[in-house]
Amino acid sequence: MEKFTKVTGVATPLMRQNVDTDLIIRIERLVDNVGREGLGPFAFEQIRFKPDGSENPDCIFNQEPYRDAPMILSRENFGCGSSREGAVWALKGMGIKAVIAPYFGDIFNNNCFQNGILPVPLPIEEVELLADEMTASPGNARITVDLENCIVISPTGRTIPFKVEAHRQHAMLNGLDDIAQTLSRQDAIVGWQKADQSARPWVWL
């Protein structure tokens, strides 16, 4: 998994509640055999594209400067709905590195940490202020998410703290998914196995 320390850039103000995983990626796309690396173009396709496949100019993802933005701002319950990891793969495929919202669907939240996307929980008042600052100066506004110091720096320079569990912060900073975290303790695992083989040899037949 790619290490996450800090990201600075445009944040797309998708200011709507209950952005569910079906909106992020349709279930049909997960059975089309495009693979996790091929889901990016289909992220948010219900709002990004018209029925004929052409771009919807009213969709904020199709407007400058939000094309290819590395962050999303949103309201409560981002990533709710069915527990499809493909939603996170799709976001990653469209270049998203962090999502800032008041709170997230539980499984979506876990999937983010497993795939290198940082879910940043902030009070709705702070998210709304960030969205206002982005839209007030859309050509120049930039947001920084700093995982090392657990702060968000707004376009106007405000510093906003956020919380993340210590073990998840460590894993993201070092690019460790669950398997990598387990392998990092391989010496302890091997030591336990050898000791258990001596104590209970019949178990290892």
What pLDDT, in 10s, does the model give residues 11-30? 999 999 999 999 999 999 98
Per-residue pLDDT tens digits for 97-116: 999 999 999 999 999 999 99
What is the greatest pairwise CA distance in the chain? 70
Determine the straight-line distance between the first and last CA of the chain, rounded to whole angstroms.
36
Q: Show the domains of the chain with their CATH numbers.
A: 6-174 (3.20.19.10), 176-205 (no CATH)
**Distance in angstroms (rounded) separating the CA atoms of residues 40 and 34:** 10
* pLDDT score recorded for residue 181: 66
Instruction: Check: CB of residue 96 under 8 Å from CB of residue 36.
Output: no
Confidence of residue 90 (pLDDT cuts 50, 70, 90): very high
- Paired strand residues for 80: 20
Q: What is the pLDDT of residue 87?
A: 96
- In this prediction, residues 64-80 reach a mean pLDDT of 96
Q: What is the pLDDT of residue 93?
A: 95
The pLDDT tens digits of the residues spanning 142-179 come to 999 999 999 999 999 999 999 999 999 999 999 987 67
Tokens 């709170």, residue located: 103
- At position 55, the amino acid (one-letter code) is E
User: Which token pair is 57?
Assistant: 């100019």
Distance CA 121, CA 181 (A): 24
